[in-house]
Amino acid sequence: MIKKILISQPRPASEKSPYFDIEKNYGVELVFRPFIKVEGLTAKEFRQQKIDILSYTAIIFTSRHAVDNFFMIAKDMRLTIPETMKYFCVTESISLYIQKYTQYRKRKVFFGATGKFDDLMPHILRHKTEKYLLPQSSAHTDEIAKILTAKGLNHQECIMYRTVSNNFTEEEIKNFDCDMLIFSTPTGVNYLGESLPGIKEGKYKIGVFGPTTAKAVESAGMKLDLMAGTPEYPSMVAALRSYLDKENK
């Protein structure tokens, strides 16, 4: 019987989140506690990459973290981003988030429909002459860069932020009482796999989002009980509902 689930992401901002429906419908307690946190590079660290931001005409954003740190670094370096700069975002929500830093103009902001980079590519290919900058985390794959290179697009990747462990305190580990852990990134798996007593002995049920995180669980010697980000369960909410239907019936 699952009574308490720790989910490695920030608490949803809206009380209408389907996660809270799970709490009501299944009588479980959900605890939202990120296992990782994002730190932006300093302007000094960024300068070591020898990248001239103002020499680029378009920016590709894959997350809100990328948006935040791009504009923070620009501010720290006292750069004025020109109004002609174009922004290509993997989702509409990221494109709207840009309004936090600059005036939103539809003619210079483009976004994909599903969150997959392939769905953003048609917009990028209609602007082949742009010079693209791709802000990324220190922990990233080369998948997007390879797609841009294959299409012959002028682009450059750069590191603007890093993902680090959001370490548990000794008190948190001592009083840990959840029945299930939900991981969203390999970083959290690697950290808790070494820090939490009993995790490798199967004391807790383990759920993950995506194949990369699933692989990290298996590599750490843990048993995987639930996986989201699949055709059958595209969201963690859907995967959790199905799992609790069986486990808590």
Name the residue ranges covered by the structural domains of the chain: 4-35+166-247, 39-163
pLDDT in tens, 52-92: 999 999 999 999 899 999 999 999 999 999 999 999 999 99
Checking if the pLDDT of 231 tops 90, the result is no
- Supply the pLDDT for residue 123: 96
> Could you tell me which CATH number the domain at 4-35+166-247 has?
3.40.50.10090
Domain 39-163, CATH 3.40.50.10090 — does that match?
Answer: yes
Determine contact, residues 34/183, Cβ cutoff 8 Å.
no
Bridge partners of residue 182, in order along the sequence = 7, 207
Query: Model-level pTM greater than 0.75?
Result: no
Q: How far apart are CA 23 and CA 19, in angstroms?
A: 7
pLDDT in tens, 100-141: 998 877 779 999 888 889 999 999 999 999 999 999 998 788
pLDDT in tens, 174-227: 888 899 999 988 878 877 777 777 788 888 999 999 888 999 999 988 999 999
Determine contact, residues 36/164, Cβ cutoff 8 Å.
yes
Q: Say yes or no: do domains 4-35+166-247 and 39-163 share a fold.
A: yes
